[in-house]
Every structure is written in structure tokens, then in C-alpha cells.
Amino acid sequence: MRFSEKNTFWRGLKLLTGLALFGWTAAAHAILTIEITQALEGGMPIAIVPFRVDGAAKPPQDVAAIVEADLARSGRFSAVPPKDFLSNPSQHSEVIFKDWRISKAEALVIGAVRQLAPGRFQVEFRLYDVFKERQLAGYVYVIETGKLRTVAHQISDVIYELLTGEPGVFNTRIAYVTKEAGPKGPVYKLQVADSDGYNPVTILTSPEPLLSPAWSPDGTRLAYVSFEQKRSMVYVQNVESGERTKLSEARGLNSAPAWSPDGRELALVMSKDGNPEIYVMNLANRGTRRLTHHPAIDTEPAWSPDGRELVFTSDRSGRPQIYRMSADGGKVERVTFEGDYNARASYSADGKTLTLITGVNKKFRTAVLHLKGQALQVLTDTSLDEGPSFAPNGRIILYATSLQGRGVLASVSSDGRVRQLLKLHEGDVREPAWSPFNPQLQHKE
């Protein structure tokens, strides 16, 4: 699927021919498994002691194991193996810092999980700086059983931020689309899962393609494109309740929805006036205003974090490039000049960087453009990347690509030094979108 000549379908529409190129085969309803393909050399050594378990029932989730897996996935930590532990503390009085220096740990995590009542647990953890011999954090959570993975991810976020200075994104979600074979033909599913691929939930099932999921700023809704009525329409759906609203069914194309940072407007592509153009819809009254006025193909809008500007893809220079304009309309400014193909741009949380797909020797790779200085940095070595999406901390980029003829998701750190693959055991997955930060569970210190 390439945005090149005007007589071919452009990638902003993501039509059926594009789906075929990615090798859509039968996909199982399964957890996305993560494979770390490249990590930082010399990650911080951290010892995560198995949490003590109290009470009559063993918790269904191993909180310490989830935390260890999260931190390993970040590529910035190296777990000290249990065989090197000289002790297994679960409370402050049992910590002997000398033991952990001998084990070469720089940080130490201990904790306990206690059943308070059927279906209710207390989880506590402590994080220590081994060399300074001091506690960096100590939290207690009281939660229902179904929140054990959530609290584990939140603990990982606390540890990550205290040790790196950057917010963690383990307690976030990703949306994506799968396709599986059904008795009457293909079945498409819009799914949401934890950032590590667990707890997948099907938001919508359709016999026709579902494309371009986009999270609302509060993380409660998804906008997406559906072909259920044999043509593109834009819907918004509440992730928890399933309540669904059709927003755009204008004549022609309805595509590429993107939420404004305040959640009050939606940028999208429509061709109701005869040519694909960028519009903005007021979600309160469904009124639209047209931003672009050009005979070229304009598509794939994305808002700046402050809501003042939009970037979009256009072939008005002859080839697809990234352009920028005020959210109120007006003058259009070209942003990318390196290479003959640049598309699907979106901003990092600080507004200083764009992630995009760039054409390199007929290969299409995920890149970042540093807006100050206009430096373009290619991050991947794959050949058919699609749809890059920044994590809410701007540290990681999630994207779709092709691996051995199958569609998979992958992630790469914004500096290119940490890479992972996320794939189903069977079939393909694509159309990724990373959620905003989730609300934090309450805790006591």
C-alpha cells in the first residue's frame, strides 16, 4: 500500500487492496507475545525478589514476575538472576544492602501480596537504591483480584520513573485490528489490550475492514473507520460500555480520524466536495470546517500537543511529504524535504519530534523528525512499516510491519536503541494505536 501516483489509492484511505498487501491471513484470538530483539547494552542491574504471599488463597497473578517482565521489555534494565540472591527479603527489616552489592544489583524491589477477603488483595512493594542504602518508594494498594496485573504495571511505572527520570507506560493500553477466517468469510476485530499484550478485549467484530483506530485524550473512546456498509464511515465507540456513534457518513470518503488534544474536535479526511481534504468536526454539534483547499491528495491529519497546529500528508509537491498548518486554517508549510516519500506523521508528547514513515531505497521505515534542525533519523531496518504511534511518554514508537509474509506489530525506542516484536502465534495484526496514560490506582505510602 503506497501513497505515490494519483491514479492509485493512497495510504490515508487504507482500502482493501492495502490490506491484501500485508498478507492478511487467519488470526487467532490470542495474546500478543513480545520478543525483545534489541536492548541497551549495560542495562541497570535490578533485583526483583519474588513477593511474599500471605492468606488462604494464592493470587492468580505473580506480581513480581509481571514487574520483572515489564522492566525487561523496556530494554533499560537487567534483572539479577535469583541464583545470585544471598537472601529473599519481603520487608524492610530483612534487607541487608551488603548482600545486594555482592549480587551487583544497583536497585532492589521487594514486596508482599496478602488476601484480605475473597476476591480482594493487598499489594505492597518497596524500591531501594542499593549503593545509597535508602528507600526510594514504598506503596500499599488494596485492590480487587481483577486489578492485580494493573497494579503490577503501575508498580513498574513507579520504578521506571524513579530510576530513569521518565514516566513509564506499562500501565497503558494499545488498540489494534486483527483478521480471522469465519464461516461466512473474513472477520475483522478491533481489539484493546494491556501494553504487554495481555487482557485482549474485542471492542467490535465486523465482516468488513476496520481501520485507523485513534484514542480520545482521556482514553475512554476510540474513533475508527468502518466499511460495514461497503463504504468508509467514521465511528466513535466507548471502550468500556460499547456505546457507539456514527460521526461521518458523508458522500465519498470518510477517513483518518484524529482527536484534538482537548477532545472537543476530530480532524478527518472527507471527499464530499469532490477531492480528499482535511476537515475538522466539532463533536458537540457535528459541524465541520474545511482546512485544506488543494487539488492534491491531503490525508492523515495529526494534532500538535498544544492543539494549535496540524500536520498532514500531501502529494502537492508531486510525492507524499509532510505539511503543517494552523488548526484554524491558512498558510500551509512543508515540513519534510529528505527523501521522496514521507507520510503518516504524528507528534511526540513534547511537540519537539514527529514520527513518520519514510521511503529509503524503496523500503518504508519508521523514522523520527527532530523539528528543531529538521534532522530525520531512521529507526528501523524493516521494509514495509505502517502507522507509527508514540507512547504517551514519547519514549517508544509502536508500528505495524511485515515479517516473513505476516503482519506484526513492533516497537522501537525513539533513539532506535531498543526494539521489540509483538505478534500473534497465528495470523496477522496491524493498525496500532497507543493509548494515553491511564488513571492511577489509589495507594498508601
Exposed e or buried b per residue across 333-368, where buried means at least 16 C-beta atoms within 10 angstroms of its C-beta: eebbeebebbbbbbbbbeeebbbbbbbbeeebbbbb
3-class secondary structure, 214: strand
pLDDT tens across 312-324, in order? Answer: 999 999 999 999 9
Amino acid at residue number 136: L
The β-bridge relationship of strands 210-215 and 221-226 is: antiparallel
Tell me, what's the pLDDT at 23?
Answer: 40
Determine the pLDDT at residue 33.
Answer: 86
For residue 427, what pLDDT is reported?
67
pLDDT at residue 439, rounded to an integer: 85
49 φ, ψ (degrees, to nearest 5) = -80, 135
pLDDT at 2: 36
Positions of the chain with pLDDT lower than 50, given as ranges: 1-29
